[in-house]
Structure 1
Amino acid sequence: MKIAAVRATPLNLPVTMASPSGAAKSTSLSLCLVEVELDDGWVGAGMTAITEEEVIGSIVNEIAGPALVGLDPLRHEQAWDRLYWLLTPRGQSGYAGHAIAAIDLALWDLKGQILGQPCWRLLGGAREQVPVYATFGFAFYERDELAAAARAWVERGFRRLKMTVGHHALQRRDEPRNPWDVIAEDVQRVRAVREAVGPDVQLFIDANCSLDYLHAHWLAQRLEAFGITFFEEPVAQNDVGNLAKLRAATRIPLAAGQNEVLASRFRDLLAAQAVDVVQPNACITGGFTQCQRIAGLAAAFNAQFANGGAWPHHNMHLHAGLANGSLVEYHSVAVECCKLVFDGLPEPQQGVLTLPQAPGLGFRPNRERVRELARRPGSRGVGKA
């Protein structure tokens, strides 16, 4: 068996979310689907997201893919190392890491299909189910809609909920949009959700790297009273110094890492005691191959290893496979995007995802729908809803 072709399909996917008031909320997310085909017909599929999907498509189709033709698909460490030195020879991060992640996932999908085992078993088979937290609380909800949506998710059996804060306050300062007004409203939004769901539901918040230390500190101080389980990506650039300083200044645990692509960044976060939870994402942080290494770092530092950054149906394999796997993010917008692309996605029951027994990832891209989606005109919006 040899790799015969690697192809990428960039997609920008419009999603309409219903609000509790009945009003439709429109948003979008981008992803890039990557398929690795073997000379005997096997095809594995991976993906990456939260980036410029067309750039990833060009990297895979023009540079990374051709470099893998002729390799043994089961030797994923060889392929990963070749891609690392091809795309990131001086420690660059960003687009290259996304491309490596998507290809690595496709190779693991192939490995599972060829060996007749689901990926989570090949990764270690620590458990057959993983707990999930529902990311539901987006900026497009008004305060009362947010509270109603939180109640609705609890009624569906979810006892762990995450909402966004900060709302790209630094990125959008030129609107003008005063960051102080943004975070003052965040306090009221968190209050409304906590009052709606009561004290026993775990509540997580995520600033998506959209605040500086000053605003993140102010916000954390005022949210401590609401029993926040962790504050994800509170400061811009996952700045290690600012994270360490914030962690020392708040009782709220901090989490970060979903958009990092170098294992050394996680080493630095852990060594500086800057976070309580590391969150590599298999679709971004170098695939299963590198995320296993980062999980080992987390274990060595006795830190929690969890999933941030959405795409639960790929990350569930990682957290079911490894002994220190834990929470998987069930990002409601990202899940709707995945439903457009893939068939056979498992649904959570009472806040738990049960892993598939089918070989590989256990779900497949619907190529007819993918072709139709790829032809659609649309804006090239990226990021996290």
Structure 2
Amino acid sequence: MKITGYRSLTTVCEWNRPIGDVNGVIASGVTEVPVLILETDVGVEGVGLGGHADIDRIFPALEGNDPRAVTSLYDSMQAHVFKSGHCGSVFGAIGVADMALWDIKGKLAGEPVWRLLGASDRFVPGYASALDGGLDDDALLALYKSWAERGFSAAKLKGGRDVDADIRRLLAIRDVLSVNSRKPALMFDANEAWSRKQAVRHVSAIEERIDLTWIEEPVRRWDVDGHRAVTEGVRASVASGENLTGLEQFRPFVAAAAIDILQTGSCWGITHFLRVANLARAFDLPISPVGYNGNPVSHAAASVSNHIAHEIQNLEAPFGIALDQEIESGGIRLGDDPGLGIRVDEAAIGARQCSGAWTVPQGPHVRPERAGLRLVPDGEE
């Protein structure tokens, strides 16, 4: 049995609302979802979701090999690009190929990946995270009411420019989710928009009114000292790591006690998540995967003992994608389909010729010029 090739296509996620954060907003609410399909000589194919523009660079490490050797192939992919780096888009290609390999492994075993990895419970606790930076207050409340109807009692707000607005919106979300809990968990994501002192001041102001569960990415992703300063300066836990790639990038944060909750980007793959989860467990730290279309890493999250909550960004699947999972009771209930439970309608996607963009200048994936340098609330400078 061997890997023989791959196919790549792109569909879209239609959010039906503007989406974004402190860095920017995509007003159309339409974003691309790249899909990778790994082929084998026995006809079993694996699906991975996420950016994989550098797949040609890492595919030679896969071609001709047995797809069941997932962790060995993960290391082979990293070794194949060790001189040219395995961060950014290269690491993304490795992660998406890794998803597809786990999908194949599950299909060959006739088991969903969550069961293959040893999970005893198919339910994955989660929290609502609607990429809500582009919504006005009324739209925000309407959206989180739909999450409350699915049983959610925890949510994460995007913000970071106007502390008064952030407090008002957090309190509103708390009121909406109080139907499911007398004390909903509230998280806040600044998406690297602050300096360390701005972070402490902003979060401290929020904490005068709200018992914040965690503050996420308060400073730049690589700033160990800055994360440590925020951890020491506020009551809330500091969560970060979604943009870190490889255990070598997590080690200094753990050594400095600079992160209280380790996060991993779902698009970096299942093997990466499992390894970071083990690192976190060795230091009695919880782990939380950052959401992505289809929630493929939820299978791995079900299998680790220190998983705290899975970010869930959308209640609907991308166009042409069917998922064997249900979002209910405040989390993800995984199904019994072998592999990751992702089915791709290639004909529908091809006929529609889907397109969308994350990296438009006004969107959240492009860092604004004044990020971390604003003296007053946005629009008043």
TM-score range, shorter chain: 0.7 to 0.9
- For residues 278-302 of structure 1, the C-alpha deviation after alignment (integer angstroms, 9 at most, x for no partner) is 1113322xx2222211111111100
The aligned amino acid for 2:68 is L
The residue aligned with 2:121 is 127
The amino acid of 2:285's aligned partner reads A
SS in 2 for 1:81: helix
Deviation at 1:92?
A: 4.4
Going from structure 1 to structure 2, the CA distance change for 1:140 and 1:305 (only over 3 Å counts) comes to same
Please tell me whether the aligned partners of residues 209 and 237 of structure 1 are also in contact (alpha carbons under 8 angstroms): yes
**Amino acid across the alignment from 1:41:** G
Q: Bigger CA drift: 195-204 or 209-218?
A: 195-204
- Please give the alpha-carbon distance, in whole angstroms, between the structure 2 residues aligned to 1:106 and 1:311: 15
**Closer, same or farther: CA 289–222 of 1 in aligned 2, 3 Å:** same
Q: Is the 8 A contact 1:112 1:118 kept in 2?
A: yes
Determine the structure 2 residue equivalent to 1:296: 278
Contact 1:160 1:202 in 2 (8 A): yes
Query: Which one-letter code corresponds to 1:160 in the other structure?
Result: A
Contact 1:125 1:320 in 2 (8 A): yes
Q: Within 2, Cα distance between the matches of 1:378 and 1:301? A: 40
Matched, 1:15 2:15: yes
Q: Show the counterpart of 1:242.
A: 226
Structure 2 equivalent of residue 41 of structure 1: 43
Q: What does residue 70 of structure 2 align with?
A: 76
Give the C-alpha shift of residue 37 in structure 1.
0.3
Q: Tell me, what secondary structure is at the counterpart of 1:255?
A: strand
Identity of aligned residues (%): 29
CA distance 1:220–1:29, change in 2 (3 Å) = same
Query: Which residue of structure 1 aligns with residue 213 of structure 2?
Result: 229
Alpha-carbon distance between aligned partners in 2 of 1:330 and 1:282, rounded to the nearest angstrom: 11
Aligned mates of 1:241, 1:341 — CA distance in 2: 44
Distance 1:154 1:282 in 2: 24
Equivalent in 314, 318, 343 of residue 296 of structure 2: 314
Letter in 1 for 2:284: N
Where 2:276 maps in the other structure, the secondary structure is helix
CA contact (8 A) 2:188 2:216 kept: yes
Unpaired runs of 5+ in structure 2? 20-26, 366-381
Partner deviation per Cα, 1:80-103 (whole Å, 9 max, x = no partner):
122102224365421111000000
1:381 aligns with 359
Secondary structure of 2:319's partner?
helix
Contact kept, 8 Å, 1:130 with 1:319, in 2: the verdict is yes
Distance 2:141 2:158 in 1: 13
- Does residue 138 of structure 1 match 2:115? no
Is the 2:224–2:258 Cα contact (8 Å) retained in structure 1?
yes
How is 1:193-208 mapped onto 2 (pairs within 5 angstroms)?
A: 193-198=173-178, 200-208=183-191
* CA–CA separation in structure 2 for the residues paired with 1:278 and 1:31: 25
Give the drift of 1:232.
1.3
In the other structure, the counterpart of 1:350 is 329
Identify the residue that residue 31 of structure 2 maps to in structure 1.
29
Note the C-alpha offset of 1:12. Answer: 5.2
Aligned partners of 2:328 and 2:136: how far apart in 1? 27
Gap change, CA 1:127 and 1:238, over 3 Å in 2? farther
Name whichever of 205-214 and 5-14 sits farther off. Answer: 5-14
Query: How large is the RMSD of aligned CA atoms in angstroms?
Result: 2.5
C-alpha distance in structure 2 between counterparts of 1:319 and 1:267, whole Å: 21
Q: Which has the larger share of helix?
A: 1
Runs of at least 5 residues in structure 1 that lack an aligned partner in the other structure: 20-24, 167-178
Residue type at the aligned position of 2:49: M
1:87 corresponds to which residue? 81
Tell me whether 113-122 or 244-253 shows the greater mean CA deviation: 113-122
Q: Does the Cα contact within 8 Å between 2:129 and 2:311 map onto a contact in 1?
A: yes
> Could you say if the C-alpha distance between residues 203 and 341 of structure 1 is closer, same or farther in structure 2, counting changes exceeding 3 Å?
farther
- CA-CA distance at 1:188 after TM superposition: 3.1
Cα deviation, 1:131-163, whole Å, max 9, x if unaligned, reads 111113612211233234334422332111111
SS in 1 for 2:326: coil
TM-score, length basis structure 2: 0.84
Cross-structure match for 1:212: 195
Distance across 2 between alignment mates of 1:244 and 1:127: 35
Query: Cα 1:203–1:367, aligned 2, differ >3 Å: closer, same or farther?
Result: same
Q: Secondary structure at the match of 1:226?
A: coil
SS in 1 for 2:267: coil
The letter of the residue matching 1:229 is T
Inter-CA distance 312–329: structure 2 relative to 1 (3 Å threshold): farther
DSSP-derived class of the 2:128 partner: strand
Q: How has the CA–CA distance of structure 1 residues 378 and 125 changed in structure 2, closer, same or farther, with 3 Å as cutoff?
A: closer
